[in-house]
Amino acid sequence: MRKGYLINYEETFKGYKVLQNLEYWYNTRNLESILKILEHCRETMTNPVMYQIEFSYDPDKFNKSVFLEVLRRKWKSEWKKYEEERKEKWILKYEEAQLKGEKTSSFRSRKIPEFHYIYSFEFKEFKPAGIRRDRGKIMLNYHHCHFMFIVDLRHNQFGIDEVVYRSINAFKKIEGINKGKNKRNGKDQNPRLNYRKTEKPEEGGFIEARYHDLKTEFEDAFTRASYLSKTSQKAGVMTRNSFGSSIKLCKVM
């Protein structure tokens, strides 16, 4: 085995399985970062969930150096706007209830949720959808990023749909990130939530889930997140640091 790398079918990482793919090598330094972040969130958050957003981008317009700073600003802006709209809806509901002589629950303001993250910038070539085979090898570049959010839903104060939609909307407002249909297959939206398949042995099939609960699905969450530490699809990435995380924000170093 090459020093500093882990091949999936030969070993586990500190007792945890990595994603099963014989073609992947996993960077153990990045796996360590992933494990520390997930452990930190599991221990310090009340109701931590992990979900993945994938987006493609234009390398000539996307500014990687300020990406995370801009994302945090857009995230806060999205939540502020959403909470204002939520309060306006409550006011209308309250006024209607008053006219009818009915009671209604009081409005509960919510603090904008913070998030931890893991990301992997990747590159590959693909044949665009709708191109006939007799047209030859027409290939396009696919610059993209897998971005893993870990957010605390607290005591069900937030719904998973709320945090996912705020995430996607925040990405849409960042310059250089492509919007609309994904050119790779002409179907998926960009940015989009990446689903993961979980096996159900008792039914002999699979179900689709949108997120992992770090309190109850920690091992499976690590396996899913290990994908971001793979060393393939890195050639052609227009940035020095193709892998990153919020590890420095965790008091676990």
Q: How far apart are CA 237 and CA 158, in angstroms?
A: 35
Alpha helices in the chain (DSSP H): 28-44, 67-100, 160-172, 218-225
Give 137 or 24, the one with higher predicted confidence: 24
Q: What is the reported pTM?
A: 0.86
Q: Is the pLDDT of residue 169 over 70?
A: yes
> Cα–chain-centroid distance for residue 240?
21
Out of 34-43, 80-89, 97-106, 237-246, which region has the weakest mean confidence (pLDDT)? 237-246
Which residues make Cβ contacts (< 8 Å) with residue 16, sequence separation at least 6?
Answer: 35, 219, 222, 223, 226
177 vs 9, higher pLDDT: 177
* pLDDT score of 184: 60
Predicted local confidence at residue 252, as pLDDT? 45
Check whether 62 has a pLDDT greater than 90: yes
**pLDDT band, residue 20 (cuts 50/70/90):** confident
At 36, phi and psi to the nearest 5?
-65, -40
Position 3 pLDDT exceeds 50? no
